[in-house]
Structure 1
Amino acid sequence: MGSCIICGKSVEGRICDLHEEDALFEFRGSRADQLSVDRYYRGSVDGFAEFGVFVDIGDSVTGLLHRSELDQRLDSLDWEPGDTVYVQVKNVRDNGNVDLGWSIRQSEREFRGVLVDDPDIGHSVLLENEDDEDDEDDEAADSEADSATESESQGESESSADDDSGSSDSDSTANAGSVSRAGDADRVEGTAAVGGNDGGSNTAVVTESDDETDEGQTAEAVAAAIGDLEGHVGSDVQLEGEVVGIRQTSGPTVFELQDETGTVDCAAFVEAGVRAYPEVEEDDYVRLMGEVRERRGELQVETETLEVLEADEREAVEQRLADALDDEARPDTVDPLAEDTAVAALSDALVEAATHIRKAVLTDRPVIVRHANTADGYLAGSALERATLPLVTDQHRRADAKYHYFDRRPIEGGVYDMDDATKDTTTMLDNRERHEEKLPLFVFVAAGGTRESLDGFDLLNVYGAPTVVVDDIDVDGAVVDTVDAVVSPSAETVSETTATSLAANVAAHVNDDVRDDLQHLPAVSFWENIPEPYAAAASEAGYDESAVSELREAVALEAHYQSYEDKRELITDLVFGDDEEDVGGLAGHIAEQFREKVDEEVATAEANLDYRTVDGVDIAVLDTDAFTHQYEFPPESLLLDELYREVRDESDAVLGISTDTMYVRADGDVDLHELVREVSERVPEGGVATRSVREGTIRYLAGERPAVLDATLDVLADEL
C-alpha cells in the first residue's frame, strides 16, 4: 500500500482514482494496449496530417490528436516536430490505434504531480534529472534530514540544548508547530523525493540555527515587493498580496501570490503531498514570510509563515492592489479617431470602458464581446477585437490564448435576453469549474442598451460577472444602474453617431498601436450622410467612397449568413484585409451579391406596399409574410431600412407587419416604448410588447393582428 501523492489517501500505487486526472504520466511501455484510458501523458509531436496531429507517447506508441479535439484551427498551431505536448488518451482501439484528446494544460507545472506509467512495475513518482549543483544540494538536504531524524530519535535525555546555546524548550515547541521548509529535492514543483515503498520522503528539517545571524540573533524578514525579489535571493522577505492560485504537488503546496508588482510561487511543505495551511483559500489576502530562492531560472519563495489578513489589514492591501491595477490599466490619453462632438462629450466614459477591458486582460479575465448581428454590430465588435487580441497575446505565452481569453458572439436584435444570458452563464460556470477560469468581462456593443436586456444582466450580476455597454442609443437609466460602465450619447446626439464610431474610439484607448487599423471603420458604419471627418479618415486609410460602401454591404451580408457565430477570420479579412493583397477584392465580390439580393427584394416589396393616410399622415404598410422571402437574405429589419430609404419622400413612415411582429420605420421622434404603451391600452387583449428598440420591432398575439395594426396607425399618426 502507498499514499496518494495529492490527497494522501491509502492506495495501491501512488495516486487515487479521484486525482488521477490531475497527474501527468510518462509512458514507459511498448504497446498501445498498455496505455490507460483517460490519463494525461507527456508526448512529442511526430508529424501533421490533414485531419490532425500524430503524437508519440513514449518511445514505441503513436496516437492521433484529431483536429476536432483542438480548440483552434490546425494550421494555427505553432508546434514543430519534436515539440513536447500534453494529451489525454481517449480510446485505444482493437487495431492498436490510439485516439488522443487535447489537454488545456500545456505545461508540466500545471499538473499536480508527475508519475511514471511503467506496465512492468506500475507507476511511481518521477524524479527530474537535476544538474550537478542540484545533486549536491540534494545530498546536503538528505544528510541534514538524516541528522535531524537521528537527533529526534534520541529523545529528551540526549538533548543538546542549554541556556547559552540560544535554544530552549519553548523554541523546540515553536519549531514543532510550524511548517518546515522543504529540502531542495522537495521544492521541485510537481515532484517529491521517494524514500521507499512506504511513501516516506527526504524532508530537510530546518532548525532555528539556520535562521540565525553571526551574532546569534534571528534575521528579520525585509518587507519587499514581488517585482523586486531578484535583489533578495537568499534573504528572508515579507510579502503581502492576494492568493490567486493554489496547487498541491506531490511535494509542497504551492501558493501563487500576487501583489501590485507581479506574481511568484511560494512553496510550503509539511510532508509529501500533504496540504500546507489548509485554512488558506484562493482570493485570500495574506502576509507571507520566507526565503527567496532561485530554482531552474525562476524565483520561488520557501514559505516560513503564512497569515490570512482580516478586516482593516485585508482592506488596506486589497485597496492598494486595486489602485495599482487601475493605474496600470488606465490608458494614456489618446486623440479621438476624428472630430466628433458625440465622442468628445464621452471622453471620461471612453477611458472607463477601455480601463475595464485592459484590466480584464491584465488579470487573466476573458473578454466576451456581445454585439448585434448587423453591420454596425460586427464592425464595432471587430474594432474591439482588433485592439484586444494583441494585448492578450502579450499577456499569455500560449499560442491559443487569443481563443481562450477573447470571444465575440453576435446576438439577435441587440437584445440580451434570458436565452443568451443562460447560455453565457452556463458556459462561464463550466469554464470556472473545469479550468479554474475567471468569470469573463462582458462587453455589449450595439446591444443591451434598453430595458429588454435587464433580465439578462441581472443573471450575470448574480455571479458577479462585470459588464460594459457601448451603444449609440440613449441607454436606458435602469441599464446604467445595472452594469459597471456605459458609453452612450445623449438623446440630442444619438442620430449623429453609430455604435462603431463609439466602439472604435474605445478600441483606440484600449490599444493605441492599432488606431491606424481603425480609421476607416466609423465611415463604413453610416448607411448615409457619413460625417465629413470620418469620410476623410477613411480616405486617408485608403478607402474611397466606393470602397466604404462595398465594405458596409459585404459585412451586412456576412452578418446574416454567419448567424450567431463570430467566425473571426472571415470578418477580419473583410474589415481589415489582412490576407488580401487587394483589399477591395473580397468585399467587392460579396457586395455584388448584397446589392443583387437587396434590389430584387426592395423592388418586390415596393410594388406591394399598401399606402394608408391617417389624419393627413401617409404610412406605407408591407405584409412581410406575403411579400418577402422569409429566413433568406435580406432579413426583414435590413429590408425595411432599405425600403424606407427608397420611399420616405412619399411616406412619413413604413410598417412591416407579419403574423406576430411589426417593424416601425419613421423619421419622427418616435419613442417605441411609449408607442407600445398606447397601443396596448387600445388593444389590451393583444399582448403587445416591445421586442427590440434597436430594430424598431414590437410583438403581439397573432389573432389580434388587425386590431394592433389599426391602433398602431392611429398612434403613429398622432406622434408624427
Structure 2
Amino acid sequence: MGSCIICGTSVDGHICGSHEEDVVFEFEGSRANQLTPGRFYEGAVDGFADFGVFVDIGDSVTGLLHRSELDTRLESLDWDAGETVYVQVTDVHDNGNVDLAWSIRQSPREFRGELVDDPEGDRLAEAEADSGTGAAGATDPNERAAADSAAEPETGSPAVADDENGSDATRTRTDGNADADDTGTSASSTDARESGTTATPTNEGSGGLVAAERERVPIDDLESRVGDHVRVEGTVVSVRQTGGPTVFELRDESGTVDCAAFEEAGVRAYPDVETDAVVAIEGEVERHRDDLQIETAGLAVLDGEEREEVEERLEDALAERAAPDAIEPLADDPVIDDLGEEIHDLAGLIRRAVLESRPVVVRHDASVDGYVAGAAIERATLPLVRDEHARDDAEYHYFDRRPVEDGIYDMDAATRDVTRMLDANERHDEQFPLFVFCGVGSAQSRDGLSLLSVYGVERAVLGDRALDADDLAAHVTPADRDAGATTATAIAANVAAGVNPEVRDDLDGLPAVSYWEDTPEAYADLASEAGADADRTRDVRGAIALVANYQAYEDKRELVADLLFDGSESLAERLAGQFREKLDAAIETAEAHLDQREADGVTVAVLDTDAFTHRYDFPPTDLLCDELHRRTREDTPVLLGLGEDELLLRHTGDLDLDTVAEAIAERAPEAGVTARAARDDRIEFLLGERDAVLDATVAAVGEQFD
C-alpha cells in the first residue's frame, strides 16, 4: 500500500481516484491499450491534418487531437513538430486508435504532481522521487498540504493561462506590471492614483483602471514601445476566449493589435465588451512568439464625445487608406477600359474590408480561369492582411479562397458558407465577410446569393458573365460577353493591381494563362515581357488544369502560388506533362466512340460521356469536351457530351442556350429540361428521358445553328 501524493489517502499506488486528473503522466508503455483513459499525458506534436493534430504519447503510441477538441482554430496553432504539449486521453479503441482532448494546463507546474505511467505500475518521476519536496514529492500529508498552499498564487494575483499568442500558462506575475493588488486594482491604476491623474473605471470585474490623461499611442508605434505601459484607443474587431485570457483584437486608424485580458483561466474578461465596442485599453506592450500583444491592465468602454472622436478619426483614416489609386490597366484591353470605374470600386471594397478586419472570401469557378482569377485577388490581398494584423496567422483568418463546382453558387455552397460564417461569428465574434465571386455566373446562383443577402452580407461579382442578383456591392462584368473575350482572370488581375500596386509585376503573366486559344496579343506580349513565353504559359495552364481537378473544393494555396508566382518551372513542366498525357489518352478513346448525326445540314458529334470516359478521373468531362471540340470542329461544328442526366453543348456557331433548352423542352416535355449556363453550356434532364432528350437536342441544334 502507498499514499496519494496529493491528499495522503491510502491507495494501491501513488494517486487516489479523485486526484488522478490533478497529475500529469509520462508514458513508458509500448501499446495503446496500456494507456489509461481520463489521465493527462505529456506528448509531442507529430504532425498536422485537416481534421486535427497527431500527438506522440511516449515513444510508440500516437493519438489524434481532433480540431473540435481545440479551443482555437487549427490554423491558429503555431506548434512545431516535436513541441511538447499536454493532452488528456479520452478513449482507446480496439483498433489502437487513441482519442485525445486538449488540456488548458500546458506546463508541468500547472499540475499538482508528476508520475510515470509504466506497464509495471505507476511510479514517481525521478526528479520528485529524488527531491522529496514540493506538492508532488512530499511524503507527509501535512507537508504536502503546506507545499500545495505555498505553490498557490496569492489572492488577487491571477494566473495567466497559455493561449495561442504565447502567454505563459497559469503563472504568477512577479514583475509588477499590470498585476492586480489585493483589492483587485491594477498596478497601472495604482500608479495613476499616486500620480494624481484622473482615471475612468472599467467594467465591473475588470481588475483595473484606465488613466484618462495617459497619452494615446497609435498601434503602429507599438513596435518601439515594447516593455512600456501605453494607452490605445479603437474599435474591438474580434473577441477570442482562450483557455487562459480573453483576447480582444483592437483596431485604430493605424493598425490592429491583440490585447490579452485575464480574469481567471478560461473565464471571459469584460463580458459586456463585444465586437464593435469603442474602447480605451491600457497595459504593457509585450512580444509573444514574434507577435506584439498588450497585457491589459484596464479597459474602458468609451461613449459620448469620446466615442464620436475615436469613430470619426477611424473613419477618416479608413476612407483615406481604403481608396485605391487610379486604375491603370495591365494591358491594352477595351473591355477593361470600359470597366475602369467598376474595377476601381471593387478594389476599394476589398481594401476597406481588410482595414475593417472583415474576412475576404473569394469564391471562384474550379477551372483554370477561376483558379487563376482567385489567385490574383489572393496575391494582392494577403500582404495587406499581414501588414494590418499583428498575428502571424492572420492570413488564414481574414482571407479565404474557395472553389465552386461548375461555376455555380448553388444553395449547397451558400449553406456551407453561411454555416461557417455564423459559427465564426458566434464562437469567435468574427465579422461577416466580403464575398467576391470570380467567374461565377448563372441563373442557378440566384438562390445562393439570396441566402447571403438575408444576413446583409456584402457581395461582389467579377467575370465574363453578368450575374442577375439584387444589391450587389460591385458587379464587374462586360456589357457584351463577346467583347474581346475578356476572361475572369483578366478582370481579376486588374482588380488585384488596384488592391495592391506592389504586386503588379506578379500579375502580368496571369491573363495569358486563362486563354486556351486565341490569346489577345496584348496579354501574350505582357506575359512574354514578364518572362513567360508561350511554352511556359502553356505549361502553367496545363498544370493548373490538372491540380484544379483533384480535390476541386480545396484552394491548394501554396501549390497554385508555386506554379503561378514562384517560377517553379520544373514543377509546371512535370505536371503539364501529366496533363497532356492523360488528356491525349482520353481524347483518343473519345474520338473512337463519336457518333456522327445530321440535322438540317448540320453535323453533330455525340459522345456518350457516361460510357466512354473515366468520369471520376482526369480529365473532367467539361475539359475533355472542350479539347475534343477544338480538335474536331472543322468537320463537326457541334459537339454534344451526353452524360447520365446532363448534356454539354459545344459549338462554333451562334447558339443561345436558353433558346435551345426551350426547343428541347417542347420536343421532350416530360424530361424536366433545365439550362445551366456558367463555365459551359450545360443542360440537365431526367434520366428516364435520356434518349428522347438526345433526339430533341440534335433536332433543336439543327434548327437553331447559324
Question: What TM-score, normalized to structure 1?
Answer: 0.68
Indicate the percent of aligned positions where both proteins have the same amino acid.
39
Does the CA contact (< 8 Å) of 2:539 and 2:573 recur in 1?
A: no
**Residue 239 of structure 2 corresponds to which residue in structure 1?**
245
**Cα 1:246/1:689, change in 2 over 3 Å:** closer
Does the CA contact (< 8 Å) of 2:37 and 2:89 recur in 1?
A: yes
| C-alpha distance in structure 1 between counterparts of 2:520 and 2:354, whole Å | 33
Does the CA contact (< 8 Å) of 1:89 and 1:99 recur in 2?
A: no
Does the CA contact (< 8 Å) of 1:370 and 1:411 recur in 2?
A: yes
Q: Which digits, 9 at most, give the CA deviation of each residue in 1:640-693, with x for residues without a partner?
A: 222322333334433333342122222344332343345435544331112333
**Residue 468 of structure 1 corresponds to which residue in structure 2?**
460
Does the CA contact (< 8 Å) of 2:257 and 2:390 recur in 1?
A: no
Is residue 2:301 matched to residue 1:306? yes
Which of 682, 685, 697 pairs up with 1:700? 685
**Residue 442 of structure 2 corresponds to which residue in structure 1?**
450
Does the CA contact (< 8 Å) of 2:675 and 2:684 recur in 1?
A: yes
| C-alpha distance in structure 1 between counterparts of 2:682 and 2:244, whole Å | 60
> Could you say what secondary structure the match of 2:479 adopts?
coil
Does the CA contact (< 8 Å) of 1:241 and 1:285 recur in 2?
A: yes
**Residue 186 of structure 2 corresponds to which residue in structure 1?**
182
Which of 498, 523, 539 pairs up with 1:534? 523
**Residue 496 of structure 1 corresponds to which residue in structure 2?**
485
Which of 579, 594, 597 pairs up with 1:610? 597
**Structure 2: any 5+ residue segments left out of the alignment?**
1-20, 29-34, 114-135, 137-144, 154-158, 160-169, 200-210
Q: Where do 1:215-614 residues align within 5 Å?
A: 221=213, 226-227=218-219, 239=233, 241-242=235-236, 244-245=238-239, 257-263=250-256, 280-286=272-278, 303=298, 306-308=301-303, 321-333=314-326, 335-396=328-389, 400-447=393-440, 449-473=441-465, 475-476=466-467, 478-479=468-469, 481-491=470-480, 493-494=482-483, 496-578=485-567, 580=568, 582=570, 584-606=572-594, 608-613=595-600
Q: Where do 1:617-696 residues align within 5 Å?
A: 617-681=602-666, 683-696=668-681
**Cα 1:633/1:206, change in 2 over 3 Å:** closer
**Cα 1:554/1:603, change in 2 over 3 Å:** farther
Does the CA contact (< 8 Å) of 2:260 and 2:294 recur in 1?
A: no
**Cα 1:87/1:536, change in 2 over 3 Å:** farther
Q: Displacement, 1:115?
A: 9.1
Q: Which digits, 9 at most, give the CA deviation of each residue in 1:488-516, with x for residues without a partner?
A: 12215455211121222222333333333
Of 299-308 and 342-351, deviating more is 299-308
**Cα 1:63/1:347, change in 2 over 3 Å:** farther
Of 524-533 and 655-664, deviating more is 655-664
| C-alpha distance in structure 2 between counterparts of 1:38 and 1:348, whole Å | 62
Does the CA contact (< 8 Å) of 2:546 and 2:575 recur in 1?
A: no
Q: Displacement, 1:391?
A: 3.6
Does the CA contact (< 8 Å) of 1:417 and 1:455 recur in 2?
A: yes
Amino acid at match of 2:406: G
**Residue 718 of structure 1 corresponds to which residue in structure 2?**
704
**Cα 1:287/1:584, change in 2 over 3 Å:** closer
CA RMSD across the alignment: 5.2
Does the CA contact (< 8 Å) of 1:673 and 1:690 recur in 2?
A: yes
| C-alpha distance in structure 2 between counterparts of 1:256 and 1:496, whole Å | 44
Q: Which digits, 9 at most, give the CA deviation of each residue in 1:202-241, with x for residues without a partner?
A: xx6987994479xxxxx97489574498799999989564
**Residue 110 of structure 2 corresponds to which residue in structure 1?**
116
> Could you say what secondary structure the match of 1:134 adopts?
coil
Q: Displacement, 1:531?
A: 0.8
Amino acid at match of 1:644: H
> Could you say what secondary structure the match of 2:401 adopts?
strand
Question: What TM-score, normalized to structure 2?
Answer: 0.69
> Could you say what secondary structure the match of 1:686 adopts?
coil
Q: Which digits, 9 at most, give the CA deviation of each residue in 1:344-397, with x for residues without a partner?
A: 222232233333333344444443332222222222223233333344444455
**Cα 1:538/1:248, change in 2 over 3 Å:** closer
**Residue 11 of structure 2 corresponds to which residue in structure 1?**
none
Does the CA contact (< 8 Å) of 1:235 and 1:292 recur in 2?
A: yes
| C-alpha distance in structure 2 between counterparts of 1:693 and 1:49, whole Å | 36
| C-alpha distance in structure 2 between counterparts of 1:225 and 1:695, whole Å | 55
Amino acid at match of 2:341: D
| C-alpha distance in structure 2 between counterparts of 1:413 and 1:695, whole Å | 8
**Residue 9 of structure 1 corresponds to which residue in structure 2?**
none
Q: Which digits, 9 at most, give the CA deviation of each residue in 1:540-586, with x for residues without a partner?
A: 233322332233233223322344333334333333455x4646532
**Residue 5 of structure 2 corresponds to which residue in structure 1?**
none
Q: Displacement, 1:318?
A: 5.2
